[in-house]
Structure 1
Amino acid sequence: MSAVRAFEAAARHLSFTRAAQELGMTQAAVSYQIRLLEDRTGTPLFVRLPREVRLTAAGRQLAPKVTEALDLLGTAFSEIADKTEHHLHISVLPTVVSSWLGSRLASFQTAHPNISIRVHMSTELIDFKRDAIDLVVRSGNGDWSGNEVFPLFPIEYMPVCTPTFLEKHQLKDPADVLTVRRFGNASWWRRWMTEAGVEPPASNGTELIFDVQAMDVATTLLDHGIAMVVSTFVIEELRSGKLVRPFNHVVRDGRAYWLVYPQSHRRQNKIQVFREWIIAEAATSNAQLAAVAGELPSVRSQAEIGASALIRPE
């Protein structure tokens, strides 16, 4: 291909020097590549004169077809690159989509109407080399080696319920949650109870688990029970007063939600603009949560973390 490109440029300019300038090569390198092509075809392609070069009959026959072929290849690769650059495939945890990201994606598309987004909801690990996925949002400790990893917001969870449910069941002590129906992750409930000084029950009989927090919240809003939720995912409900925190204790387990994509994707424009957008959205949510929770200094630091530079796992 190097020899073909050198021939096409030299034939178009009728100059080895100008071809070399266009291709970023030396004149000697262009001459060498064309000589290789002449050896391959078994016939001279240029007549080399003291101050100029001219195409031979074979060169004149070959030149337009080579130009057409290179133009066709360039168009084909441009079409593929354009299609790839304007389609963003993301894999996100179902709870993150339903409780946080889904309602915000419209603002991204408004800002970047040339990028279409396909959201794949999954909790499974993604193999970037095998799966047609550009980036993922996952929970964990951020130790995904070989990838670009950005924190969004911490996993902090707590019980919430409606004001009417709180009044009806007189939830005054953490142990009172044992007497009502509980929604949400069972292991989160056990940890919260343990940290709050409550002996977790042996049976989960009063729990109802949907695996998607939006369903837990929806059922809680109907006064059917109390839900264990990630604080960030109920900011609007807390701000409006539809949900309240019956107890002050919040579990901070040290993990977070992260934006992850392969290092090989980092130069793609669609990746860069989505990264900047989602980190800014996460920082806004962290600041809003700070205002609601009345813990501005500590949560603001999390917002700063969410907007920080790349964090690489040790």
Structure 2
Amino acid sequence: HLTAPSPPLTALRAFEAFARHGSMTAAAAELCVTHGAVSRQVRLLQDTLAVQLVSGSRRRLELTPAGTQLASRLSAAFRTIQGAVSAVRADDRRVIEISCLGTLAMKWVIPRLERFLAAHPDVLVRLPESYAPADFRRHRYDGAIRIVPDGEAVPGAEATPFMLQHQGPVLAPHLIDPARPSDVLAGLPRLYASTFPEAWPLWSTLTGIALPPAPVEREFAHNHSMIEAAVAGMGVAIAPWAFVAPDIASGRLVAPFDFARRPSRFVFLRPLDRPDAAVDAFRDWLVAEGAASPPPPTPSTSPAAETAPAPPPAAGRSNPAG
């Protein structure tokens, strides 16, 4: 009997990358080749198998049922190959890739990461930055850290909440008058991140603190840029507690008002079909670290307190104003 020729590995690799990304351009970027090279490899694979794997116009190619079936099995096979190669390297430590919100990685995960690495010396952790929805079909990372609304399911993922989400205003210490802290809400530029532009209105709703019109609004691409702008005195920012806790502890920022509990959580996501002891260990470590993280402090001042009469001086003490 004649045996059908096996398709080239490069063609299988190009097709699998296209199927994950849903884009020839993205697949080409991952493989460091041209868009045309990926397209030619996909056509070669179809010709070799005599099966149509993609359909549609050049700009809107989609997988056929046969293409979907093949892509799923190829992704699993390439993961197996990657694991086999990693297992025989001179450095036999397991490398896990955890897609993470950039500011959370810098301000919360990395300052704690040494504790995980010390407990698991056989595991290396990579933290590529991403704010996009986690899609384990298109991306090969082993897990992802995202903010997920309470009660919302993430298709194709096991979701493990590990920390509540609080958000509040912060600013440089020299910008605030302790006697009139609410002046910062009306008198200073208001900073926000484009990744969550509704942060200020939501905080106002959750706390019941009315926001006067901002004299200036300044937008930043990410929270970490906005936080550094606040440290530099460019205005009052609105940020998650987990992102600013180190700067408040060090005195770079102050938080004059409440941090409101948002109806969302920091969640660890992992694909449903990929058992992995190293990823399990990282997930469990996140849960433990989240439980040990201190909650935001209760502010010493509030807009309501500014209008209340001052308490009388304590008995036996001199009045410093006298």
Quote the RMSD (CA, aligned, Å).
2.8
Residue in structure 2 matched with residue 138 of structure 1 by the alignment: 146
Distance 1:198 1:269, change over 3 A: same
Residue in structure 1 matched with residue 273 of structure 2 by the alignment: 264
Aligned pairs (5 A) from 1:1-314: 79-80=84-85, 82=87, 86-141=94-149, 142-167=152-177, 171-173=180-182, 176-185=184-193, 186-194=197-205, 195-199=207-211, 201=213, 206-247=216-257, 249-265=258-274, 267-285=275-293, 288-289=294-295, 292-293=297-298
Instruction: Map Cα deviations across residues 215-266 of structure 1 (whole Å, 9 max, x no partner).
Output: 222222222221111112222232333322222x33222111100101222x
State the distance in 2 between where 1:211 and 1:107 align: 31
State the distance in 2 between where 1:120 and 1:129 align: 17
Any stretches of 5+ residues in structure 2 without a counterpart? 1-80, 300-322
CA contact (8 A) 1:151 1:257 kept: yes
State the distance in 2 between where 1:276 and 1:148 align: 13
Counterpart of 2:236 in structure 1: which amino acid?
I
State the distance in 1 between where 2:100 and 2:82 align: 30
Residue 155 of structure 1 aligns to a residue whose secondary structure is: strand
Residue 289 of structure 1 aligns to a residue whose secondary structure is: coil
Distance 1:92 1:279, change over 3 A: same
CA contact (8 A) 1:85 1:269 kept: no
Residue 134 of structure 2 aligns to a residue whose secondary structure is: coil
Instruction: Map Cα deviations across residues 74-104 of structure 1 (whole Å, 9 max, x no partner).
Output: xx89834737981201111122212221322
Larger Rg: 1
Q: TM-score, normalised by structure 2?
A: 0.57
State the distance in 1 between where 2:82 and 2:245 align: 45
Following TM superposition, by how much is the alpha carbon of 1:200 offset from its aligned partner in structure 2, in angstroms? 5.6
The structure with the largest helix share of the pair is 1
Counterpart of 2:228 in structure 1: which amino acid?
A
State the distance in 2 between where 1:180 and 1:77 align: 53
Question: How many aligned positions are there?
Answer: 210
